[in-house]
Amino acid sequence: MAEWWEDLFASDAWQEVQLNWSAVEDTVDQAERVIEALGLEEGARVLDVPCGDGRIALELGAAGFEVVGVDLIERFVEVGRAAAAARRIDNVTLEVGEMRELAFAEEFDAAICFWGSFGYFDEAGNLAQARAVADALKPGGRYLVDTPSLETVFPRFRERNWFQVGDVVVLQEQRYVLETAHIETEWIFVRDGVAAESYLTSMRVYGVHELSALLREAGFDEIELRDDELFDFEVGSQRLWAVATKP
C-alpha cells in the first residue's frame, strides 16, 4: 500500500500545483534569505532534500553555489534538470532518491529542507531523515528546516482553507489529532468548478522544543530559531526556520 505522500505527489493535480508554484512565490527572494540564514560562503556545497523541481536549488546554483538536490518524484527531478539546462546552470545536480537513506558522508557545508517537507513519517522516520542530513554534512555544517510548527499553526488554525495556483483551486479540510500531534488534511483539487481529485495527508507538526530535541538527537547541537523573514521566531510567526549546526 502506497504512503500518502506517494499518492499525493504522484498525482497530476499536485504536480500541476507544485510546478506552477514559482508564479506564486518570489523564489529569488527566498533563495537570498536561505543564503543569509545559512551564512553561505563562496564555494559552499549545499544539499537540498527534498528538492522538488529544484525551485530553490536552481537559484542557489545561479548565485554560484554547488548544489545537489534529491527528490523521490522522478517527474520533478526531470523538470528541474531541464530548467537547469535551459538556464545553463551546470553547478546543480538533481537526483532521484529517498531522503531517509542518503548516500553522502560529510560532503556538504549546508543543507535545506524547504517548503514544509519535514514531518511526513512516524517519529523514527522523521529522525532518520534528520540523521541522514547530519551524516551528509561536514563538521560545522548547517541545516535549515523550513516548516510550520505548533507555534505558527494554532494562532491562525482554520478547519477549512483554500488557495489557487494557475487553473487549479485547492480546498483543504483539516483537523488536529491530539493523540499523535498530526494535522490530517483532505486536499480537494477543483478544475473548472468541478472537484476532480482528492487526497488525504497526515503531517506531524512539532513544537519548537520537540523539533529542537529531535535535531539534537539526530546529531546537531546549536539551534537558531528564526521566522521566514529572518526575524527572531515567536508565537504567531508565519513559519519556523530552524538552523541547526553539526558539531
The pLDDT assigned to 23 comes to 72
Q: Each residue of 2-13: pLDDT tens digit?
A: 899 999 999 999
Extract the C-alpha cell encoding 15: 504536480
- How far lies 86's CA from each of 80, 81, 132, 238, in Å? 10, 9, 31, 34
What average pLDDT does range 22-43 have in this prediction? 93
Q: Each residue of 46-103: pLDDT tens digit?
A: 999 999 999 999 999 999 999 999 999 999 999 999 999 999 999 999 999 999 999 9
Q: What is the 3-state secondary structure (H, E, C) of 28-51?
A: HHHHHHHHHHHCCCCCCEEEECCC
Mean pLDDT across the chain: 96
Residue 57 CA to residue 97 CA, distance in Å, equals 16
Q: Is the pLDDT of residue 1 over 80?
A: no
CA 7 to centroid of chain Cα atoms: 18
State phi, psi for 154 to the nearest 5 degrees.
-75, -30
Q: Each residue of 116-168: pLDDT tens digit?
A: 999 999 999 999 999 999 999 999 999 999 999 999 999 999 999 999 998 99
CA-based Rg of the chain, rounded to a whole angstrom?
17
The pLDDT assigned to 196 comes to 84
Residue pointed to by grid coordinates 481529485: 197
Q: Each residue of 166-184: pLDDT tens digit?
A: 899 999 999 999 999 999 9
Residue 149 CA to residue 124 CA, distance in Å, equals 19
Residue 25: pLDDT band (50, 70, 90) is confident
Residue 46 CA to residue 138 CA, distance in Å, equals 11
Annotate 148-161 with b (16+ C-beta within 10 A) or e (fewer): bbbbbbeeeeeeee
